[in-house]
Structure 1
């Protein structure tokens, strides 16, 4: 990037940040981080309170039925919504979480009308004071129960955004709640039950009992805000991508063939933070020379690549596509045919 390009980008960043001032930074500030660490350290989990019938986590490369996002917008998130809707594989529906009634179902249907039919767009209304843009962190994590039905795991979230009960009710699935602060962006799993995260002070028993993990690998924090979805991408039970050579040995020890992605220039930019939906992968790009190599690497594995520029989202918000999305497998759709407004009436 040339000097003039840096100046132009800095000016744009200031203006864009002002326009998205209601969007919190992805990561907690130092005071909040200290509060989270103190809270988690003080927890004394009782194993008898934990669920006993969680089989394993849902792996992102398994068949998805729903993509979930916040109805709120900031930086490039509106573009991400549109590109996901435009390229959403057949058989996958789009679910957005409204905050205190906004946006309405009809507003979102109108916004996405060029790409999706109305019957593929669903709304869950969440009563909350917090901002839910970073959907991966606040939306409960999907797991499979022993009977192969869906359950969702609720952790505490520092942005005062707790959509968990609303989501569980909408999908008509059990909500498994623990008392630790934890973010979905720092949880990655394969279908064998191998779970990866960037190191946190949370006992392994929490991941075993609530998330169905068979192994727990805690990686060191090397870059970014400290979420595993910035650094590792699982494409199958045996294939992993990363942009940190330091993780290669640990990943190979879990049985993965490891491929390296390039590193773009920005501190918080990463090609790893992509969203995989049934063979289509939405990849963050940055208008940099490394974009082409990252796209080519994903294409090596037979994936349909949809590049989306998220330069502001990464550099100002400190997250990207995976951070503002969630995928769920097949679940009961009946409740989602109605917009949940507290009374069961369809909200327009």
Structure 2
């Protein structure tokens, strides 16, 4: 905990501190953050293709809200955006120059908690929690990525107080919030090597509830890891929360698929879960995409890795018309009042992620949507 935040915390009364909560993704947002790819990232072999995907995401996002882009070369990004976006959309874009190892904003950018308290000299109702990102358990270099949040904050582009939590590894893709009392995560990820050892599962559970004061329980899912997933099983690839106690999850019907048994067990676990009111969750099943390979390696294709923004949901598709159609229609059922926007994500999964992994939302201080 940094000294600046510690002084804020000491000045708060208990009620102010405990009014903080981790919003659900479908609540009102101020904007989205992207980290732009360049030739010295792993995107180099297909930089043109991934840049096109980023332009499509930027277009979909700026039709609905603000967009913060960090990039090594902001002038080249500015030119690309000028060719693709309208003047009104361009006005919604903020560009900031800084270097990066990779582009997975979901796991690099801060996780935002909000308070119902009023701003004061010693207190801001938005805190941006800056956790340690260590390349998903020291698999990949992350030193430049770990500096991005501090650089953006010093430039005055984060509205709120940046909290230093670099002593704890937590990736945004590893947790899902209902905005109320429940946090979802996976045992395979949070207990994976090189994260937070020697902490036990019980100690990590307690840590999560202390970081997010509204959370009264953490639901640990024990099944559902995708082949080719570098993250050790991020929850945003298999199970997502939607309004009205709804869970969207990946199911597998092919008994010959290597995922079949693990995802059958995931489905059984979800059926046994209950809300804080003791009721079963409303379960909406998303199809398992047909296997996609890069040479001989299976890639972690999933429709669950969608991004919820103001007025829309951006959904990864995989040029599999029947399964893409079912996924888009199922997600529309969960979000009936939002436009469903499909973006071909076959290039993204070549680096073992998808749309949600590349993005991070900044929730608004406006009253939450339900």
TM-score, length of structure 1 as denominator length: 0.72
Note if 1:234 corresponds to 2:258.
Answer: no
Note if 1:151 corresponds to 2:158.
Answer: no
Aligned to 2:295: none
Note if 1:296 corresponds to 2:334.
Answer: no
Secondary structure of residue in 2 paired with 1:240: strand
Aligned to 1:20: none
Note if 1:270 corresponds to 2:292.
Answer: no
Partners of 1:117 and 1:192 in 2: CA distance: 33
Secondary structure of residue in 2 paired with 1:300: helix
Partners of 2:50 and 2:272 in 1: CA distance: 33
Give the superposition deviation at 1:299.
2.2
Give the superposition deviation at 1:228.
0.6
Which deviations, in whole Å up to 9, do the C-alpha atoms of 1:292-334 show, x marking residues without a partner? 11111122241311111111322x21100000011112379xx
Partners of 1:251 and 1:108 in 2: CA distance: 46
Partners of 1:91 and 1:264 in 2: CA distance: 28
CA distance 1:299–1:151, change in 2 (3 Å): same
- Asked if the contact 2:247/2:284 (under 8 Å) is kept, the reply is yes
Secondary structure of residue in 2 paired with 1:88: helix
Which residues of 2 match residues 124-135 of structure 1 at below 5 A?
Answer: 124-126=96-98, 128=99, 130-135=100-105
- Alpha-carbon RMSD across the aligned residues, in angstroms, is 2.8
Partners of 2:61 and 2:323 in 1: CA distance: 25
- Asked if the contact 2:62/2:92 (under 8 Å) is kept, the reply is no
Partners of 1:105 and 1:262 in 2: CA distance: 35
Aligned to 2:364: 330
Which deviations, in whole Å up to 9, do the C-alpha atoms of 1:176-216 show, x marking residues without a partner? 22212221111210110311111214522321222332221
CA distance 1:105–1:191, change in 2 (3 Å): same
Which deviations, in whole Å up to 9, do the C-alpha atoms of 1:224-270 show, x marking residues without a partner? 23101001121215111011424423544455311111110235110
Note if 1:69 corresponds to 2:34.
Answer: yes
Of the three residues 91, 113, 119, the one matched with 2:91 is 119
Secondary structure of residue in 2 paired with 1:270: coil
Of the three residues 220, 223, 229, the one matched with 2:222 is 220
Aligned to 1:11: none
Paired positions, count: 281
Aligned to 2:212: 211
Aligned to 2:68: 95
- Asked if the contact 2:74/2:95 (under 8 Å) is kept, the reply is no
Aligned to 2:311: 279
TM-score, length of structure 2 as denominator length: 0.68
Which deviations, in whole Å up to 9, do the C-alpha atoms of 1:14-45 show, x marking residues without a partner? xxxxxxxxxxxxxxxxxxxxxxxxxxxxxxxx
Secondary structure of residue in 1 paired with 2:347: helix
Comparing 74-83 and 178-187, the one that deviates more: 74-83
CA distance 1:286–1:68, change in 2 (3 Å): same
Note if 1:106 corresponds to 2:60.
Answer: no
Aligned to 1:45: none
Gaps of 5+ in 2: 1-5, 119-124, 135-141, 197-203, 251-262, 292-297
Partners of 1:121 and 1:246 in 2: CA distance: 43
Aligned to 1:85: 58
- Asked if the contact 1:86/1:116 (under 8 Å) is kept, the reply is no
Secondary structure of residue in 2 paired with 1:65: strand
Note if 1:164 corresponds to 2:149.
Answer: yes
Partners of 1:227 and 1:260 in 2: CA distance: 18
Partners of 1:116 and 1:251 in 2: CA distance: 45
- Asked if the contact 1:153/1:175 (under 8 Å) is kept, the reply is yes
